[in-house]
């Protein structure tokens, strides 16, 4: 286990310094199914607001009903542009959510949303049991900063992680199960990557984007 954790730290450090050396991608997104112009969807029960990035999707869920609903994080699914499904984590810091997931026997409790209230946070890909599939329970022994540096991006953030330019006009899907009093509805959203740019560092520390 000690050798696994040392390798994990080494990978995290490499990713940190590689990210400093490469220019990042900048993605633009649209929500095409259901189609809306402002990345916000609502029906009579719930409203959703999205802000996708390469690393995560920020989501705000507002309960419009008079009763409590639950966001079933454990059954939420992200389907990437290649069609591969992924389970997710939800919260504000990746390392904390990963450790909570491990401590809770690889399970995430549904998020309760009270009437006329909002739950918001970041949705990331859950990479448990880790690089190479061999960290498993050892996550609880890894420093939070090292976990945060691990590659858990939904899309390539830098060229060494993949060719982000080729993902222009591709789509990905997010399925969000919402539990009402007597049933569960799976809200399915398809996003399109409408543009991809490379953010180049200019002299003086400023950045510019190039296609």
Which residue has better confidence, 207 or 175?
175
* 123 in Cβ contact with 71 (< 8 Å): no
CA-to-CA distance for 27 and 198, rounded, in angstroms?
9
Weakest-pLDDT range from 141-155, 158-172, 182-196: 141-155
Looking at residue 149, what is its pLDDT? 83
**Selection from 125, 121, 172 nearest residue 150 by Cα:** 125
**pLDDT average, residue stretch 143-149:** 86
Tell me the pLDDT tens digit for each residue of 4-34.
444 444 444 444 444 456 789 999 999 999 9
Average predicted confidence (pLDDT) for the chain: 87
Looking at residue 189, what is its pLDDT? 98
CA-to-CA distance for 179 and 69, rounded, in angstroms?
6
* 193 in Cβ contact with 32 (< 8 Å): no
Which residue has better confidence, 170 or 16?
170
Looking at residue 10, what is its pLDDT? 43
Sorted by where each begins, the domain ranges of the chain are 2-198
CA-to-CA distance for 94 and 97, rounded, in angstroms?
5
Question: DSSP labels for 37-81?
Answer: SSSEEE-SSEEEEEEE-SS-EEEEEEE-SSS-EEE-GGG-EEE-T
pLDDT score of 44 more than 70: yes
Tell me the pLDDT tens digit for each residue of 72-123.
999 999 999 999 999 999 999 999 999 999 999 999 999 999 999 999 999 9
Looking at residue 21, what is its pLDDT? 60
Strand segments, DSSP code E, in the chain are 25-33, 35-36, 40-42, 46-52, 57-63, 69-71, 77-79, 85-86, 88-91, 111-113, 118-125, 171-179, 184-201, 207-210
Task: Give the pLDDT band (50/70/90) at residue 146.
Answer: confident
């Amino acid at each position: 286990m000690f050798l696994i954790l040392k390798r994990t730290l080494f990978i995290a450090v490499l990713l940190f310094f590689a990210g400093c050396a490469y220019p990042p991608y900048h993605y633009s997104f649209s929500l095409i199914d259901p189609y809306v112009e402002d990345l916000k969807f609502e029906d009579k029960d719930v409203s959703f607001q999205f802000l996708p990035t390469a690393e995560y999707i920020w989501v705000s869920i507002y309960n419009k009903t008079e009763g409590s609903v639950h966001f079933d994080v454990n059954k939420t699914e992200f389907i990437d542009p290649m069609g591969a499904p992924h389970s997710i984590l939800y919260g504000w810091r990746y390392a904390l959510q990963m450790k909570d997931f491990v401590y809770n026997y690889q399970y995430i409790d549904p998020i309760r949303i009270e009437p006329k209230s909002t739950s918001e946070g970041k949705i990331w890909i859950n990479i448990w049991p880790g690089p190479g599939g061999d960290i498993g329970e050892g996550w609880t022994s890894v420093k939070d900063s090292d976990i945060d540096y691990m590659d858990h991006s939904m899309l390539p953030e830098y060229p060494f992680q993949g060719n982000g330019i080729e993902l222009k006009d591709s789509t990905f899907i997010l399925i969000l199960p919402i539990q009402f009093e007597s049933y569960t509805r799976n809200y399915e959203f398809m996003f399109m990557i409408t543009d991809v740019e490379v953010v180049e560092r200019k002299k003086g520390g400023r950045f510019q984007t190039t296609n």
